[in-house]
Amino acid sequence: MHGAAFAHAGLRGTYEARRVSAAELPAAVAGLRAPDVLGANLSLPHKEAALPLLDALSDAARAIGAVNTVIHEAGQLRGENTDAPGLLAALRDAGLAELSPGAPVVILGAGGAARAAAFVALRDLRRPAWIVNRTLERAQALADEFRAFGEVRAASAGATPWDAAPLVINASSAGLNDPGQTPLDAALLARLPAGALVYDMVYKPAETRLMREARALGLSADNGLGMLAHQARLAFRAWTGADVPAHVFLDALRPPEPA
């Protein structure tokens, strides 16, 4: 994606993936202060651990409590979270309609991605958020942190108001690289109202079991490619100042059409 963005903007630059262990994180972050480095993206499990290693945080990153983008500016490192606005843009692309007042947004997971989802549900969509996680204590801890933004609850799958939820966001890793895995039982999916959108942040495989089962029930479903592209676009703009269209990032993600 970023290679395509550099080419589109007529800029010289590279974007490289590096595997960094938890023990190596402080040194890796310090390395971003090198003069030729524009910044970096962080993936799990570093989105929260990197916070104290940075010089400044955007308001959104501070509120969410997670950073996915680091921007290098004259030796200083600023943390940003482009996951949240990237998710909001992707939901709109996926056809998310105006939600009824009080309609709950159900979030599966309680990690860094779930933080961004809760932020979007509460601050941007202004709707109650229900957080469902295998470990209820983690869901409760996340709910407690976000209570200042609106109505948010932690619940077991059995106690969640699926019948009233027009939007379900999978912010867990369930299904990642395993098409047979799902974070939600099909019987619970079947309780969602007609027209509900199931958004799976997982993008590999392109169609997860959660998506297949949602579509089989006549529900709308989309994967995380849109979120990946939109958050990348925002990060690229923060690093370079170049406003590259979202389709450049999306086109780079999609496999070429067969001849």
CA distances, 132 to each of 17, 170, 192 (Å): 31, 10, 15
Token pair, residue 101, equals 């007042």
Query: Which one, of 50, 47, 85, lies nearest residue 66 by Cα?
Result: 47
Token pair, residue 238, equals 């923060």
**Residue 202 φ/ψ, nearest 5 degrees:** -65, 135
Total residues found in the chain within this entry: 259
Strand partners, 167: 105, 197
Query: Which one, of 119, 118, 154, 114, lies nearest residue 136 by Cα?
Result: 154
Give the separation between CA 117 and CA 123, rounded to whole angstroms. Answer: 10
Query: Which one, of 235, 251, 255, lies nearest residue 243 by Cα?
Result: 235
Catalytic residue among 2, 46, 47, 209: 47
Give the separation between CA 238 and CA 141, rounded to whole angstroms. Answer: 31
Where do runs of H (alpha helix) occur along 99-164?
Answer: 112-119, 136-146
Active site residue 47: yes
Side-chain-facing half-sphere of 66: CA atoms under 13 Å: 25
As annotated, the active-site residues are 47
